[in-house]
Structure 1
Amino acid sequence: MAKLPCPCGLDAAYADCCGSLHQGRTAASTAEQLMRSRYSAFVVRDAAYLLRTWSATTRPRELDLEDDIEWTGLEILSTTGGSAFHTEGTVEFRAGYIADGAAGHQQEDSRFLRENGAWVYVRPVSFNT
Protein backbone atom coordinates (compact mmCIF):
# COMPACT_ATOMS: atom_id res chain seq x y z
CA MET A 1 0.00 0.00 0.00
CA ALA A 2 1.40 3.40 -1.00
CA LYS A 3 1.94 5.93 1.74
CA LEU A 4 0.09 9.20 1.24
CA PRO A 5 2.35 12.26 1.03
CA CYS A 6 1.91 14.84 3.77
CA PRO A 7 -0.14 17.85 2.68
CA CYS A 8 2.23 20.19 4.56
CA GLY A 9 4.73 19.98 1.71
CA LEU A 10 7.56 18.18 3.47
CA ASP A 11 8.98 15.08 1.82
CA ALA A 12 7.37 12.63 4.23
CA ALA A 13 4.37 10.35 4.47
CA TYR A 14 1.32 11.90 6.15
CA ALA A 15 1.25 9.16 8.83
CA ASP A 16 4.86 9.87 9.80
CA CYS A 17 4.61 13.67 9.56
CA CYS A 18 1.49 15.68 10.42
CA GLY A 19 -0.63 12.57 10.94
CA SER A 20 1.54 11.73 13.93
CA LEU A 21 0.74 15.12 15.47
CA HIS A 22 -2.97 14.90 14.60
CA GLN A 23 -3.19 11.54 16.36
CA GLY A 24 -1.29 12.81 19.43
CA ARG A 25 1.66 10.41 18.96
CA THR A 26 4.06 13.38 18.80
CA ALA A 27 3.96 17.10 19.59
CA ALA A 28 5.20 20.02 17.48
CA SER A 29 8.70 21.05 18.52
CA THR A 30 8.62 24.37 16.60
CA ALA A 31 6.05 26.97 15.62
CA GLU A 32 6.64 26.13 11.95
CA GLN A 33 5.97 22.44 12.57
CA LEU A 34 2.71 23.38 14.31
CA MET A 35 1.79 25.69 11.41
CA ARG A 36 2.40 22.90 8.91
CA SER A 37 0.34 20.45 10.97
CA ARG A 38 -2.51 22.95 11.26
CA TYR A 39 -2.52 23.47 7.48
CA SER A 40 -2.65 19.68 7.05
CA ALA A 41 -5.53 19.55 9.54
CA PHE A 42 -7.48 21.93 7.29
CA VAL A 43 -6.71 19.66 4.31
CA VAL A 44 -7.92 16.51 6.09
CA ARG A 45 -10.68 18.44 7.91
CA ASP A 46 -9.53 17.66 11.45
CA ALA A 47 -11.36 20.40 13.38
CA ALA A 48 -10.63 18.73 16.74
CA TYR A 49 -6.86 19.07 16.18
CA LEU A 50 -7.23 22.69 15.11
CA LEU A 51 -9.15 23.51 18.30
CA ARG A 52 -6.68 21.56 20.47
CA THR A 53 -3.75 23.54 19.06
CA TRP A 54 -5.42 26.97 19.37
CA SER A 55 -4.56 29.20 22.33
CA ALA A 56 -7.08 29.06 25.15
CA THR A 57 -7.17 32.88 25.03
CA THR A 58 -8.38 33.10 21.41
CA ARG A 59 -9.90 29.66 20.63
CA PRO A 60 -13.47 29.68 19.28
CA ARG A 61 -16.03 27.40 20.95
CA GLU A 62 -16.44 25.40 17.75
CA LEU A 63 -15.02 25.32 14.26
CA ASP A 64 -16.98 24.54 11.11
CA LEU A 65 -14.67 23.73 8.21
CA GLU A 66 -15.92 24.65 4.76
CA ASP A 67 -16.49 21.59 2.58
CA ASP A 68 -16.28 23.56 -0.68
CA ILE A 69 -12.62 24.60 -0.26
CA GLU A 70 -9.86 22.36 -1.60
CA TRP A 71 -6.46 23.29 -0.16
CA THR A 72 -3.78 22.91 -2.83
CA GLY A 73 -0.43 23.76 -1.25
CA LEU A 74 1.50 25.46 1.52
CA GLU A 75 4.50 27.75 1.20
CA ILE A 76 6.35 28.99 4.29
CA LEU A 77 7.54 32.53 3.54
CA SER A 78 9.35 33.42 6.78
CA THR A 79 9.65 32.63 10.47
CA THR A 80 10.78 34.54 13.55
CA GLY A 81 11.59 32.78 16.82
CA GLY A 82 9.48 29.69 17.24
CA SER A 83 12.32 27.21 17.72
CA ALA A 84 12.58 24.55 20.41
CA PHE A 85 14.39 27.20 22.49
CA HIS A 86 11.77 29.99 22.16
CA THR A 87 8.45 30.63 23.87
CA GLU A 88 6.93 32.62 21.01
CA GLY A 89 7.29 33.00 17.28
CA THR A 90 5.64 33.92 14.02
CA VAL A 91 5.23 32.01 10.78
CA GLU A 92 4.31 33.78 7.57
CA PHE A 93 2.74 31.46 5.01
CA ARG A 94 0.79 31.34 1.79
CA ALA A 95 -1.81 28.59 1.36
CA GLY A 96 -3.33 27.89 -2.04
CA TYR A 97 -6.91 26.76 -2.49
CA ILE A 98 -9.69 26.26 -5.00
CA ALA A 99 -13.14 27.55 -4.11
CA ASP A 100 -16.11 27.59 -6.47
CA GLY A 101 -13.80 26.49 -9.29
CA ALA A 102 -11.46 29.47 -8.86
CA ALA A 103 -7.91 29.33 -7.54
CA GLY A 104 -6.91 31.67 -4.75
CA HIS A 105 -4.57 31.95 -1.81
CA GLN A 106 -4.57 33.00 1.81
CA GLN A 107 -1.46 34.73 3.12
CA GLU A 108 -1.04 35.17 6.85
CA ASP A 109 1.65 35.99 9.37
CA SER A 110 0.56 33.92 12.38
CA ARG A 111 1.55 34.32 16.02
CA PHE A 112 2.38 31.24 18.10
CA LEU A 113 3.10 30.83 21.83
CA ARG A 114 3.87 28.01 24.19
CA GLU A 115 1.07 27.19 26.61
CA ASN A 116 1.84 24.57 29.23
CA GLY A 117 4.95 23.66 27.22
CA ALA A 118 3.10 23.07 23.92
CA TRP A 119 3.09 25.29 20.83
CA VAL A 120 -0.33 26.82 20.09
CA TYR A 121 -1.71 29.16 17.43
CA VAL A 122 -2.76 32.53 18.85
CA ARG A 123 -3.95 34.78 16.03
CA PRO A 124 -2.92 36.37 12.75
CA VAL A 125 -0.50 39.28 12.93
CA SER A 126 -1.48 40.14 9.34
CA PHE A 127 -3.85 38.48 6.90
CA ASN A 128 -4.47 38.72 3.12
CA THR A 129 -6.60 36.73 0.67
Structure 2
Amino acid sequence: MTRRPLRAVDVLFVAAGGAVGAVLRHLVDASAPDSLFPWQTLAINVVGAFALAMLPVLAAVRRSHRVAAALGPGLLGGFTTVSAWAGQTRDLAAGGHVVVAGAYLALTLAAGLSAAALGRHLARRPEPDEALG
Protein backbone atom coordinates (compact mmCIF):
# COMPACT_ATOMS: atom_id res chain seq x y z
CA MET A 1 0.00 0.00 0.00
CA THR A 2 1.44 3.37 -0.98
CA ARG A 3 0.97 6.43 1.16
CA ARG A 4 -0.30 9.70 -0.22
CA PRO A 5 1.77 12.78 0.51
CA LEU A 6 0.31 14.71 3.44
CA ARG A 7 -1.29 17.95 2.30
CA ALA A 8 -2.70 20.77 4.40
CA VAL A 9 -6.12 20.43 2.76
CA ASP A 10 -6.25 16.75 3.80
CA VAL A 11 -5.56 17.74 7.39
CA LEU A 12 -8.38 20.29 7.17
CA PHE A 13 -10.81 17.58 6.05
CA VAL A 14 -9.84 15.42 9.04
CA ALA A 15 -10.09 18.42 11.37
CA ALA A 16 -13.53 19.41 10.09
CA GLY A 17 -14.81 15.85 10.43
CA GLY A 18 -13.26 15.56 13.88
CA ALA A 19 -14.96 18.74 15.04
CA VAL A 20 -18.36 17.45 13.93
CA GLY A 21 -17.73 14.06 15.54
CA ALA A 22 -16.66 15.62 18.84
CA VAL A 23 -19.76 17.83 18.92
CA LEU A 24 -21.99 14.82 18.19
CA ARG A 25 -20.31 12.87 21.00
CA HIS A 26 -20.81 15.79 23.38
CA LEU A 27 -24.50 16.01 22.45
CA VAL A 28 -24.99 12.30 23.12
CA ASP A 29 -23.15 12.59 26.46
CA ALA A 30 -25.09 15.70 27.48
CA SER A 31 -28.46 14.20 26.62
CA ALA A 32 -27.94 10.93 28.50
CA PRO A 33 -29.31 10.57 32.02
CA ASP A 34 -26.82 10.07 34.83
CA SER A 35 -26.08 6.43 35.51
CA LEU A 36 -23.41 4.38 37.25
CA PHE A 37 -22.82 2.49 33.99
CA PRO A 38 -21.59 4.73 31.14
CA TRP A 39 -24.06 3.49 28.52
CA GLN A 40 -23.63 6.52 26.29
CA THR A 41 -19.88 5.97 25.82
CA LEU A 42 -20.47 2.28 25.18
CA ALA A 43 -23.09 3.12 22.55
CA ILE A 44 -20.89 5.77 20.94
CA ASN A 45 -17.94 3.40 20.62
CA VAL A 46 -20.01 0.47 19.33
CA VAL A 47 -21.86 2.61 16.78
CA GLY A 48 -18.54 4.17 15.74
CA ALA A 49 -16.88 0.77 15.27
CA PHE A 50 -19.78 -0.41 13.12
CA ALA A 51 -19.87 2.81 11.08
CA LEU A 52 -16.12 2.76 10.49
CA ALA A 53 -16.35 -0.79 9.16
CA MET A 54 -19.24 0.21 6.89
CA LEU A 55 -17.49 3.23 5.32
CA PRO A 56 -16.30 1.30 2.24
CA VAL A 57 -19.95 0.83 1.26
CA LEU A 58 -20.22 4.55 0.52
CA ALA A 59 -19.30 5.34 -3.07
CA ALA A 60 -18.03 8.78 -2.05
CA VAL A 61 -15.54 7.15 0.33
CA ARG A 62 -14.30 4.82 -2.40
CA ARG A 63 -13.89 7.71 -4.84
CA SER A 64 -12.27 10.32 -2.60
CA HIS A 65 -9.48 9.90 -0.08
CA ARG A 66 -10.51 13.28 1.39
CA VAL A 67 -14.08 12.11 2.06
CA ALA A 68 -12.66 8.91 3.55
CA ALA A 69 -10.34 10.96 5.79
CA ALA A 70 -13.11 13.34 6.82
CA LEU A 71 -15.47 10.51 7.76
CA GLY A 72 -13.01 7.91 9.12
CA PRO A 73 -10.28 9.47 11.28
CA GLY A 74 -12.20 12.75 11.24
CA LEU A 75 -15.89 12.31 12.07
CA LEU A 76 -15.71 8.81 13.57
CA GLY A 77 -12.36 9.47 15.24
CA GLY A 78 -13.85 12.55 16.90
CA PHE A 79 -17.06 10.73 17.77
CA THR A 80 -15.60 7.60 19.35
CA THR A 81 -13.51 7.83 22.47
CA VAL A 82 -11.05 5.38 23.92
CA SER A 83 -9.82 7.97 26.41
CA ALA A 84 -13.27 8.43 27.97
CA TRP A 85 -13.76 4.65 28.06
CA ALA A 86 -10.42 4.15 29.82
CA GLY A 87 -11.06 7.01 32.25
CA GLN A 88 -14.55 5.80 33.08
CA THR A 89 -13.28 2.27 33.65
CA ARG A 90 -10.54 3.59 35.95
CA ASP A 91 -13.01 5.82 37.84
CA LEU A 92 -15.47 2.97 38.33
CA ALA A 93 -12.73 0.71 39.72
CA ALA A 94 -11.31 3.47 41.92
CA GLY A 95 -14.81 4.17 43.25
CA GLY A 96 -15.15 0.58 44.44
CA HIS A 97 -17.23 -0.63 41.49
CA VAL A 98 -14.68 -3.17 40.29
CA VAL A 99 -17.24 -5.62 38.92
CA VAL A 100 -19.01 -2.86 36.98
CA ALA A 101 -15.64 -1.63 35.68
CA GLY A 102 -14.73 -5.12 34.53
CA ALA A 103 -18.11 -5.61 32.89
CA TYR A 104 -17.81 -2.25 31.13
CA LEU A 105 -14.32 -3.11 29.92
CA ALA A 106 -15.33 -6.54 28.62
CA LEU A 107 -18.67 -5.44 27.16
CA THR A 108 -17.09 -2.53 25.28
CA LEU A 109 -14.41 -4.78 23.80
CA ALA A 110 -16.82 -7.56 22.87
CA ALA A 111 -19.53 -5.29 21.50
CA GLY A 112 -17.08 -3.04 19.64
CA LEU A 113 -15.28 -5.95 17.99
CA SER A 114 -18.60 -7.61 17.13
CA ALA A 115 -19.97 -4.40 15.64
CA ALA A 116 -16.81 -3.91 13.57
CA ALA A 117 -16.93 -7.52 12.36
CA LEU A 118 -20.61 -7.21 11.45
CA GLY A 119 -20.00 -3.94 9.64
CA ARG A 120 -17.09 -5.42 7.72
CA HIS A 121 -19.15 -8.49 6.81
CA LEU A 122 -22.03 -6.34 5.58
CA ALA A 123 -19.70 -4.01 3.70
CA ARG A 124 -18.19 -6.94 1.81
CA ARG A 125 -21.48 -8.57 0.84
CA PRO A 126 -21.96 -8.56 -2.91
CA GLU A 127 -24.73 -6.37 -4.21
CA PRO A 128 -27.75 -8.23 -5.59
CA ASP A 129 -27.57 -8.59 -9.35
CA GLU A 130 -29.74 -5.80 -10.71
CA ALA A 131 -30.24 -7.73 -13.92
CA LEU A 132 -32.13 -10.43 -11.99
CA GLY A 133 -34.44 -8.01 -10.17
* TM-score in same-fold range (> 0.5): no
TM range, smaller chain: under 0.3
Q: TM-score, normalization: structure 1? A: 0.25
Which of structures 1 and 2 has the bigger CA Rg? 2
Q: Give the number of the structure whose residues are more often strand, by fraction.
A: 1
